[in-house]
Amino acid sequence: MSFTSRGGEMGALGFINPLLLWLLPLVFLPLVIHLLQRRKVEEVFFPNLELVVLVRKELRRSITLQHLLILALKMLLVAAIVLAATRPVWRHEAKGEEDGSETDHFLLLDVSASMGYRRDGRTHFERAVEALQELISRTGPGHRFSLLPFARGLLVAPNGLREERYTLQRELQQLVPTQRSSDLGLALEQLGTALDRLEPAARCEVLVLTDFTGPGWTGPRLGAALDRLRRRAEVRLIDLSDGEALHNVTVREVRSRLDHTGLTLDLDLVNTFDDEDPGPVELWLNGRQVAAASLGPGQERLSYALSEQAVPVDQGPPPALGRIAAEVRFSDQAFPADNRHAFTIVRDPFLQVLILCDPGQHEATFYLERALNPEKNFGSLLLPNIVTTEQYEPADLRDADVYFLVGLRRLDPELTSLLTAEVEAGKPLFLTLGPQVEVDAYNLGLPIFPWHILGLVERDAPLPLSDKLGPEVDRRFGFEGLHLAAVGFRRYYSVTPLVEHASEVLLSLDNGAPLLLEATLGRGKVFLFCSALDDTWSSFPIKGSFLPLWHELVKGSVDAATAEATLSRTFDDELRLPLDGDGKSPSLRALEGGRDVRMQREGETAMLGFGELPGGHYLLLGPPPEEKPINLLALNYSPGEVELHRQVLEQDTGKSALAVQSGLDFSKNREQPLWPLLLLLALFFLVAEHLLVLRLP
């Protein structure tokens, strides 16, 4: 609401709590009460009292007038109280912006991702930069400026006040929106700390340009920062969004699983389209659209499941490297205009299986090798490498993905120590027991052998498996999938766990004795097969169930161990990982362009951040050609910043009101609160009403 005085000075009436204006209809409450309480007066005629009637008519006119005045005062009293609650202010333009008075201007410009929101052909950021350039160019001498871009992770620290208009204009032209989220409260806190150390001019102004989008802005923190600044400067907040709601769809988190069965992709979304359809969501893999799904209003979960044949994987030189450049593309109506989120999915399609046996016992691995890789490296994802206990090197253990100890006579302490570290890191270990086993040596094999061998059991007739599978095996395969009904065992070791509930029985014999046990060690799994893998001890190896059982156990345990390394990271996450003792340093590179991004090293820990480089990333360990990729993710936009529900700022922090100016009118406006005057008027109406009531006969 604007007014023009005779002198031409513009004035505007504003309200800090405009929603309370909806209470103005309460003004008619006294009138409604008055009408409801009216009673019809019964008339009785007395002919001899005509003089009294005439006097009574005159008196009634006076009383009616007083009643109407009392009713009007009650209505005005309610109106004054309601208007005072809205906290109206009178804003008028102050003179002196272009005069020679010294003024220091601190310009806080939001450079977060949501400033790229495009409206009427221009982004919020472009509109803010143009308006600041106009403000700087029209000020006269004596005005100094400090340009302070702010976003999460950027330090707001004035590096000096300058009057050079050209330098300031060039700084503005070089600024671009970042991919960071925003935190206005933190920016104001940092500026307040800096002003305490500076000596600004007697007249100081803080101008904040933001779209009021970002996490963590409400509450006492922002109010305290504003109060602190207002003791030193005049603070004005410019709302670049003009109160418009910013609708958006973006990715909060991605979880992927890529194995021999195909690709499963789960997307957690931020969807601020509450009442309308945001449009289709397309999945692109290696530059080809492979799927599309419709997204409903408010829907925040989307899943894709693709078979192995539908997943285009780029194959590199041996050992083959499967890499998928993935993109999730949203419709044009979602913010921003080119709304897509790129990431990379990396998989080494082959698993290196290290089979350890005693010298001269290679025949004990015959059936296992055929089961793991029946086609001799063609069509199988498992590549077995048979090494004896005398030949293995520590490097063999580090390079392998899965371990099999086949009928070792004893567990060497050095081998046990090396395997413990690898299994705790997430690699599965399989142990089988055979005729060479020294029971006492195994019983001291903690922590990779958390069982106690009671002794060897030999039977004349083969003992079949129980038809009751363990719940984990039943979940993975189902009894029909194993076809173990005809399998019989003549020899096996009787085993019991060292600690109750320390392991789970996956397979058991018909007499209840455990045959296949599983224990957890760190992030990895340890499996114990209580018999030998040959046809002397059982008929198990020559049955068709031998291959699917070990294949699925290997794949399932490896997938579970690497689940934490799949695409589950968000944009602002920082990765901390230990460095290898051989001095190999990891680096983080973008999927497109191959640029390195920042990495810090603290002792034996590397810290990698994604904040400076949006898009798809993957981690490379070691120099080429030994680079080994690890599945990681960085999103194009911070999940915190794209929570585009506008922030509802607390209007009263207990000490001062937060006044937000909509639009880009930078003229200096003085504000004069009107609510004290309204409270005085309310008090006047109350006293006047009371006096009139006392005068009633």
Q: What is the CATH number of the domain that holds 466?
A: 3.40.50.880
Do 108 and 191 belong to one domain? yes
- On whether residue 44 sits in a domain, the answer given is yes
339 in helix, strand or coil? coil
Q: How many CB atoms lie within 10 A of CB 33?
A: 11
Peptide bond into 319 cis (omega under 30): yes
CA distance 402 to 556: 12
Q: Are residues 175 and 320 in the same domain?
A: no
Q: Is there a domain that residue 643 lies in?
A: no
Report H helices in 319-393: 366-372
Q: Give yes or no for residue 288 having a pLDDT over 80.
A: yes
Give pLDDT, residue 123. 82
Q: Residue 339 falls within a domain, yes or no?
A: yes
Which residue, 347, 369, 397, sits at the end of a domain?
347
Most confident of the ranges 28-37, 470-479, 581-590: 28-37
DSSP annotation string for 479-510: HHHH--TT-EEEEEEEEEESSTTSEEEEEEBT
Q: What is the amino acid identity at position 577?
A: L
Cα dihedral angle (655, 661, 665, 668), rounded to 10 degrees? -10
- Residue 31 pLDDT: 75
State how far the Cα of 185 lies from the Cα of 217, in Å rounded to an integer: 6
pLDDT tens, residue by residue, 481-539:
455 667 889 999 999 998 765 788 888 898 999 999 999 988 889 999 999 988 889 98
Contacts of 177 (CB under 8 A, 6+ apart): 111, 112, 113, 115, 116, 123, 125
Residue 647 placed within a domain: no
Q: Evaluate if residue 265 carries a pLDDT over 60.
A: yes
Positive or negative CA dihedral for 122, 127, 128, 133?
positive
The reply to whether 648 falls in a domain is no
Each residue of 551-563: pLDDT tens digit?
778 877 775 555 4
Packing angle, helices 50-85 and 29-37, rounded to 10: 150
Pairing of strands 429-432, 524-529: parallel
Token code pair at residue 640: 């915190």
- Mean pLDDT score, 60-75: 77
Q: Within 116-200, where are the H helices?
A: 124-138, 165-174, 184-197
By residue range, what is the domain housing residue 518? 351-563
Co-location of 19 and 70 in the same domain: yes
CATH code for position 241:
3.40.50.410
Question: For residue 680, what pLDDT is reported?
Answer: 87
Residue 300 is classified by DSSP as -
Q: Does any domain span residue 651?
A: no
Residues 147 and 52 in one domain: no
Q: Which span out of 9-23, 147-161, 530-544 was modeled with the highest average pLDDT?
A: 530-544
Both 284 and 421 in one domain: the answer is no
Domain boundary among 347, 369, 393: 347
Give phi and psi for 616, each to the nearest 5: -85, 135
E strand or H helix that includes residue 526: strand 524-529
User: What sign has the CA pseudo-torsion 515, 520, 521, 524?
Assistant: positive
**Cα separation of 249 and 537, whole Å?**
61
pLDDT, residue 38, reads: 64
> Residue 688: phi, psi to the nearest 5?
-60, -40
- Asked if 487 contacts 532 with a C-beta cutoff of 8 angstroms, the reply is no
570 shares a domain with 534? no
CA 337 – CA 330 distance, rounded (Å) = 9
- Contact predicate 292/283, CB 8 Å: yes
Task: Mark whether 87 and 134 lie in a shared domain.
Answer: no
Kind of pairing between the strands at 2-4 and 10-15: antiparallel
Distance CA 26, CA 28 (A): 5
Same domain for 179 and 121: yes
Q: How far apart are CA 530 and CA 430, in angstroms?
A: 11
CB distance 678 to 88 below 8 Å: yes
- Tell me the per-residue pLDDT of 174-198, one tens digit each, with 9 for 90 and over: 888 876 777 788 888 888 888 887 7
- Report whether pLDDT(630) > 80: no
Dihedral (C-alpha) 517, 520, 524, 530: value to the nearest 10 degrees? -20
Number of domains composing the chain = 5
- The pLDDT score that the predictor gives to residue 344 is 63
DSSP 162: B
